[in-house]
Structure 1
């Protein structure tokens, strides 16, 4: 006895993207045939910004605001420096991993996120403190006497299996 699983497309979650040069009549024909609305770029798909043309840093504001919100939580204000390091290594640097494996954000976005990381590391009880080291200097292995943090550019290079680091 075999059962057939009918899979249907959820039209409320679906859409189509056409070239910007496509005519309105073509868009209405495609939309009528598919039953989906037309989506215009820029948009998001699975949390990833989709756009055409040069990299646009404002499309990454959602990611940076989620990271900033995670850092401003109530538990973050009472963490010891060791706790902050652990949160940075385990949670905060892994938040953008999916997107970094799929698409490379503009360098300005990676710098903005790393500035947030550095601010989180050096602040205490919600107060700003002196940043004793820049983020780049903290991203060397622990064996070299540093904290062993990860630079976002290194994560991008690793995802793309590229050698070299930095800018």
Structure 2
């Protein structure tokens, strides 16, 4: 069988399990067996463990057993803020700031109307697209972004 000339990797996954030491040990064994069977390496330093309401001592034990850093919410995942509860405006502000900064960078340039429309259509509207697929944005925030794009054009 020919060997691939590039590195293969699995997509990101979420694994939910009971926080008992037995389950944690089984999960660690499963991950080791997966690596052995697939030939793929799990990057534990890039992984994250989120734990619910358990004692700090138990969290420490689980973190040591897994070899994965323990994190808490909010955190970023694939460039999108992951948090507990409802979508709050302050979690979406970084995306809006990115759109505003991009438009401000282009504002002083001598661009034709068609060039401005194309930049807004392809680049600016693509910035929040992943966030749109994860979260419901309020109409207020969308109107603000539309106003900025309209003013740019």
Q: What TM-score do you get using the length of structure 2 for normalisation?
A: 0.65
**Cα distance change, pair 32–107 in 1 and its aligned pair in 2 (3 A):** farther
Paired position in structure 1 for 2:129 = 97
Q: How many corresponding residue pairs?
A: 120
Paired position in structure 2 for 1:15 = 48
Distance 1:75 1:118 in 2: 12
CA contact (8 A) 1:16 1:38 kept: yes
Aligned: 1:58 with 2:86:
no
Partner deviation per Cα, 1:77-135 (whole Å, 9 max, x = no partner): 211222211211222112211221232234443233223222322xxxxxxxxxxxxxx
Alpha-carbon deviation of 1:16?
Answer: 0.9
Unaligned runs of 5+ in 2: 4-36
Q: What TM-score do you get using the length of structure 1 for normalisation?
A: 0.61
Alpha-carbon deviation of 1:10?
Answer: 1.5
Paired position in structure 2 for 1:136 = none
Paired position in structure 2 for 1:120 = 152
Distance 2:81 2:127 in 1: 15
Unaligned runs of 5+ in 1: 122-167
